Chains A and B, each alone.
Chain A
């Protein structure tokens, strides 16, 4: 049986935070209450990450802002502050929650995989912010501060062409909590010199939607791991 992890989730007010807490119920979960927190006080931020194993950062629709400037501030500066504090407290892994809607502007007949460049309309500031949040997380991973798993989620509502069931999300995210993704990436590498590579990449993307005929996004990568 896997060990219970101490997990911190970036906000508690949003519907995605509630769904994630249902999914991670077998672990010890804490939330950041954004309203009570002064993000500029770095010592207080660091306290939040005491004894935390995994930080789940919601980069899409996890924060309610009064206007677009506040939304950008949360997904850039405050995200930076939170990740910086997580790094100081040696959090081992960050799960970034993003969205498949970052590919909204691709033609419907294309099959999009994890390494495609994102392409989205700019009339929804939430999408720009999800993109910015991913970028901040990625730089922390690139600087080897901690590992980051970036989950681009489908739509948790029923009638969507990128629908994602709570059941699949639960199975996937629980697997991610314990996944040693460096070795998973290496297994998939066919390079003859891969054994010389001491350390895997610190950043990995997974696209997550239900598997059904005509699904828009290729989900082999996650499906192979969870055994769909």
Chain B
């Protein structure tokens, strides 16, 4: 006798009972108490067969292995750099992972990255004590020069990227800017000054209006209006 008390895509608050009975399984954002499954976060309910889970809608970034982030160099250590990850924990970038070229021990680290530089890096490991290790060996991992930075809610990053990157590709095509989206909610934009502003506004619009249907079309209309040129339809348009 199992019963579901919520519908798919419902918003629930912590402590709300989602399902009763042992036929359902608690997943991310939920816990079992007796025969009930209860939410322990604020989020959107997803029911996937027998599995009940939540998609969180708010909260700060929590470092995860495999994420590509944009970090800020905050300190130089003996064997590497300390990088702020826009979360509660800073990360370590050791010299052996810092670049595709060989960096000798004792070299002047400021030659490569100095305090205040922005870097695109990938998280290789996160320990239980949240010591984060980064690497910058890999395609697209590099130091960022110039440009401007926008902060977005980490939970909205998938919206900014869009399905298979459709959204960010559209903004790039329309404005001619280089854009890098970090999983930690930092977005870097570089291009011609007016176009940078246009791209930043579009990204802010996505963050603000991501819940209203027809997002892609509205962003497209906005970009066409501000850049004054037609955008050829991007291959993916599910709206």
Q: Do A and B come from one complex?
A: no
Residues of B within 8 A of A (CB): none
